Structure 1
Amino acid sequence: MGRKSIQELQAGYADHLYTPLEITKGYLKRIKLKDKKLNSYITAAKERAVQEAKTIEAKAKAGEQTGLLYGIPLAYKDNIDTKGIRTTNGSSIDANHVPGKNAAIVDRLLGEDSILLGKNNLHEYALGVTSNNPHYGPVHNPWNPKYSPGGSSGGSAAAVAADLSVASIGTDTGGSVRIPAASCGVIGLKPTYNKVPTQGVFYVSWTLDHVGPITATMTDMAILAGAMTKQSYLPYLKHDIRGLRIGVPTSYFNEHIDPDTYALYRSALNALESLGAILIDTDVSFVAGNADVSLTIAASEAGVVHKSRMECCLSQYGADGRAFLESSLDITAIQYIEAHKMKEVYMKAFDKLFRESIDVLATPTIPIPARKIGVDEVQIGSYKESVFDAMTRYTGIFNMAELPALSIPCGLTVEGLPVGLQLVAARCREDLLIRAGYAYEQDQLRDFYRLRDQVCAGY
């Protein structure tokens, strides 16, 4: 059949070409056939999905008003509570945890008549960026199964790239929606802080955590982000970005970066300029040192969240999760408070930047393409760092600044791995990201999408 967008699926329902039940069964069949290779799901909610499809079909037949996401199968990262369906958090400790109620975002999207396909694999407790899960096995990148899909929402991005769900809902503490979106050649949005409810999500950090959508196209992103935030973004799907002021960082976001990635980023900037955007050199030197600040906040709060599990079950964590949580024990109250003070400095500096100089900031999403599963270090020239530090280097600052940030594909490296362009705007200006992302997509990504659907989805 080939990949179908939200609008195409709903047009097919309206024309009686197929039903939500048929589409849902088709996705469940694809998951069964194709996910052995990718391992993007921990749990496929077969009975629940079929029942939900039948229920919404009956609602439509009775002439009742149907929701924005009528008949759209969605998957959820497995740290988002789903009533009656086990939610493992990617851990062995919570392997048999079955929530008694849905997370707020699940209720919101089910209320729009979507269908819950299942729960996506992730980095254990969302505490890393490779999705190399010690309990449920690694998620594989659909572009090349030897490679990581990024993380921590790795299963979510892999499932969307391979068309094993129309879209997926992930979480993002320091880049966990955008990193896998970039690594898998799909679109990921970290909305403005608190714009999407986080109740019922297992936290890494209540200060930094966001819930965000991962989709295959910008139109799907506009529809799903609209349903998640109760706003309409469809009016911003316009080709015209003439006069849009796009900030190009003169430091930090162009340092210690893979040459292929940097070339594709510069090419994306040229494309935006050719569409009429105005590129403005932008000083972001104030972000230096932000990674340590982010880590102090995230590790401190994760230590509180995991306190009882660490006391009873520390040996059951994977090695990297255990190390991350143990690091929380060495952080002092003064360091934690100072980190929050620095967070305020970043917020004010970005507020000023967007108020006075630019509409959108454009950076690479991550400085490197995906790495092979099991690789934990990366070298760029003489610069060596952990994969975790590299992958979060360009994303984590925007969690602290509470700004909306979108990752959209901007091409493939010579190895055939996708690269992401990150677009960032002022708080609550997701509309600008939708507008810029859509204009770029329509101009640049048709061939990329065709290749992605051929390589990743087998169409």
Structure 2
Amino acid sequence: MLSIRQVLDGYRTKKFSPVEVTKEYLKRAKQAESLNAFILLTEETSLNQAKISEMRWSMGYAGRLEGVPLSYKDNIHVKGIPATSGSRIDQNFVPKQNAPVISTLLNEGAVMVGKTNMHEFAFGITNNNPFYGPARNPWNPDYISGGSSGGSAVSVAAELSAASIGTDTGGSIRIPASCCGLIGLKPTHGLINNDGVTPISWTLDHNGTITKNIDDLALMMEALTNVSYSNADTSLKGRRIGVPSNYFTDRIESEVLEIYKQTLLKLENLGALLFDVEIPHVEEAASLTFTLAIAEAGFVHKDRIYRGIKNYGADVKQVMENAHSISAIDYINALKRRGIIAEAFNHLFNEVDLIIAPTLPILPKPVGMDIVSINGESEPIFNSMIRYTSYFNLTGHPVISIPAGLSREKLPIGVQLIGPKLDEQQLIAAAGVFERHYLEDFYKTREKVCAEQVLNLQ
């Protein structure tokens, strides 16, 4: 399949049409149904939108994403289309208006392929959904896709959509991007409007993108923010990159650590200057994130809980049962600590331009695994997989997860780059330099492996 730029160029030169391309994506989505990327394919809506795009191209007016087929996580509201949030509770909820992010994309001509599978109410990281089934990793369907935006990542990696919009509260864009070998961007908190999304936590939620490559990401962000992210940087020479001296290599699997170390060497080979930095108060991040997320989710869900807490899946039901136990003092303290930690982290960017860390401490795991063990120490998979990501939801800084390599079993491993607030341009540019030098073979492998999996599913 083609990149977003290639799709747009094909429309411009009349090599193919939006209807033809949309039909191809829908065909592939049906062929790969057992990957369970989608809760709902919106075929009629997709083709109607594609026909409108054809008319707009013929009239000489085309948006930035005119006719590009996208997928949307199912907690994002699209007028007239069910938004289940991966739950039985909201299975009949049909929004009466579009989320602002959807309105923006519609204005830019995007075509909706469907609503993607997700961990129930976005409160989990495996995407093993009790009602809609697991979204399966297209590198190996026996493994998790990561979550909670797992279906979004599957749809992009398996080329069932050109790109996807997901949400990230503790890592829910970056985790599936890493598990599926993709680019996942959590922008600065609030850069992309969060209204019209069934939330977990207004303090921690971020809307963002999952794409196949950096150029696709730049085009998506240009459409979403009306800012140019065209990448003029061709070098990392002299770029100061902070390498955490604490926490981010604790309790990490050896293959992930080895790929991370190789990535640091590659950055040095590109001319980057590496500096040790100590990440402030990072040990507090997980507990503060849980406090904020559970307290705010309890408020968001108070009516659903009242109507019947038994209707939640087992893991999310436990979260909702715990929501009432968080005191106002604990919640307000978490809010205050969040501000202090974000400010302390900000100061690091007086010393460095970017910071790098592993995205995950572990490889993708088999579907159904709930406990992981690292060097003989066991912990819930949820705690493990958000350990390196949730800190940056707390601080609100922009973070991009990019592929860095493969395990011996050919499972993707990612690293994340963190930048100053509202400096997505630098993140995208730096990731683009790394991509041009080191990811061509990875992308070829991803395309080959995931295409073979889709073919085997037919």
What range describes the TM-score normalised by the shorter chain of this pair? Answer: over 0.9
Residue 383 in structure 1 maps to residue 377 in structure 2: yes
Q: In the alignment, which residue of structure 2 is the partner of 1:151?
A: 147
- Range with greater deviation from structure 2 (421-430 or 376-385): 376-385
Q: Which amino acid aligns with 2:97?
A: K
Q: Deviations over 1:298-346 (max 9, x none)?
A: 0000000000000112111000001111111111111001111110121
**1:223 alignment partner, SS class:** helix
Q: Per-residue deviation at 1:239? A: 2.3
Among candidates 390, 394, 403, match of residue 409 of structure 1: 403
Among candidates 71, 82, 86, match of residue 67 of structure 2: 71
Q: Deviations over 1:162-205 (max 9, x none)?
A: 00000000000000000000000001000000000011100000
Residue 242 in structure 1 maps to residue 234 in structure 2: no
Q: Deviations over 1:323-379 (max 9, x none)?
A: 11111111111100111111012111111111x211100000010011111101111
Q: Per-residue deviation at 1:59? A: 1.8
Q: In the alignment, which residue of structure 2 is the partner of 1:259?
A: 254
Q: In the alignment, which residue of structure 2 is the partner of 1:20?
A: 18
Distance in 2, Cα, partners of 1:323 & 1:375 = 18
Q: Per-residue deviation at 1:228? A: 1.3
Q: In the alignment, which residue of structure 1 is the partner of 2:449?
A: 455
Q: Per-residue deviation at 1:17? A: 1.0
Q: In the alignment, which residue of structure 2 is the partner of 1:429?
A: 423
Distance in 2, Cα, partners of 1:422 & 1:168 = 19
Distance in 2, Cα, partners of 1:371 & 1:237 = 38
CA contact (8 A) 1:68 1:112 kept: yes
Q: In the alignment, which residue of structure 2 is the partner of 1:341?
A: 336
Q: Per-residue deviation at 1:283? A: 1.1
Q: Deviations over 1:191-241 (max 9, x none)?
A: 00000001110000000000000000000011101211221101x353211
Q: In the alignment, which residue of structure 2 is the partner of 1:322?
A: 317
Distance in 1, Cα, partners of 2:253 & 2:234 = 30
**1:289 alignment partner, SS class:** helix
Among candidates 29, 32, 40, match of residue 31 of structure 1: 29
Q: Which amino acid aligns with 2:35?
A: L
Among candidates 130, 136, 144, match of residue 126 of structure 2: 130
Runs of 4+, deviation exceeding 3 Å:
none
Distance in 2, Cα, partners of 1:16 & 1:338 = 58
Distance in 1, Cα, partners of 2:295 & 2:194 = 19
CA contact (8 A) 1:84 1:100 kept: yes
In structure 1, the gaps of 5 or more residues are: none
Q: In the alignment, which residue of structure 2 is the partner of 1:53?
A: 50
Q: Which amino acid aligns with 1:49?
A: S
Corresponding residue pairs, total: 453
Q: Which amino acid aligns with 1:365?
A: T
- Range with greater deviation from structure 2 (432-441 or 54-63): 54-63
**2:55 alignment partner, SS class:** helix
Q: Which amino acid aligns with 1:276?
A: G
Distance in 2, Cα, partners of 1:12 & 1:408 = 27
Distance in 2, Cα, partners of 1:445 & 1:209 = 29
Q: In the alignment, which residue of structure 2 is the partner of 1:301?
A: 296
Q: Per-residue deviation at 1:37? A: 2.2
Distance in 1, Cα, partners of 2:344 & 2:376 = 31
Q: In the alignment, which residue of structure 1 is the partner of 2:206?
A: 210
Q: Which amino acid aligns with 1:395?
A: T
Distance in 2, Cα, partners of 1:451 & 1:157 = 17
Q: In the alignment, which residue of structure 1 is the partner of 2:41?
A: 44
Q: In the alignment, which residue of structure 2 is the partner of 1:350?
A: 345
Among candidates 2, 5, 13, match of residue 3 of structure 2: 5
Q: Per-residue deviation at 1:12? A: 1.0
CA contact (8 A) 1:252 1:285 kept: no
Q: Per-residue deviation at 1:418? A: 0.4
Q: In the alignment, which residue of structure 1 is the partner of 2:117?
A: 121
CA contact (8 A) 1:407 1:421 kept: yes
Q: Per-residue deviation at 1:262? A: 0.6
Q: Which amino acid aligns with 1:319?
A: A
Q: Per-residue deviation at 1:286? A: 2.4
Q: Aligned residues: percent identity?
A: 45
Residue 282 in structure 1 maps to residue 282 in structure 2: no
Distance in 2, Cα, partners of 1:185 & 1:249 = 23
TM-score, normalization by structure 1: 0.97
Q: Deviations over 1:22-67 (max 9, x none)?
A: 0001001111111x2200000011000100111121122123x211
Q: Per-residue deviation at 1:285? A: 4.6
**1:409 alignment partner, SS class:** strand
Q: In the alignment, which residue of structure 1 is the partner of 2:222?
A: 226
What does residue range 183-198 of structure 1 map to in structure 2 within 5 Å? Answer: 183-198=179-194
Distance in 1, Cα, partners of 2:181 & 2:125 = 16
Q: Per-residue deviation at 1:457? A: 2.7
**1:457 alignment partner, SS class:** helix
**2:415 alignment partner, SS class:** strand
Q: Which amino acid aligns with 1:227?
A: A
Distance in 2, Cα, partners of 1:14 & 1:341 = 51
**2:202 alignment partner, SS class:** coil
Q: In the alignment, which residue of structure 1 is the partner of 2:104?
A: 108
Distance in 2, Cα, partners of 1:261 & 1:400 = 24
Q: Which amino acid aligns with 1:33?
A: Q
Q: In the alignment, which residue of structure 2 is the partner of 1:366?
A: 360
Distance in 2, Cα, partners of 1:272 & 1:225 = 25
Q: In the alignment, which residue of structure 2 is the partner of 1:96?
A: 92
Q: Per-residue deviation at 1:9? A: 0.7
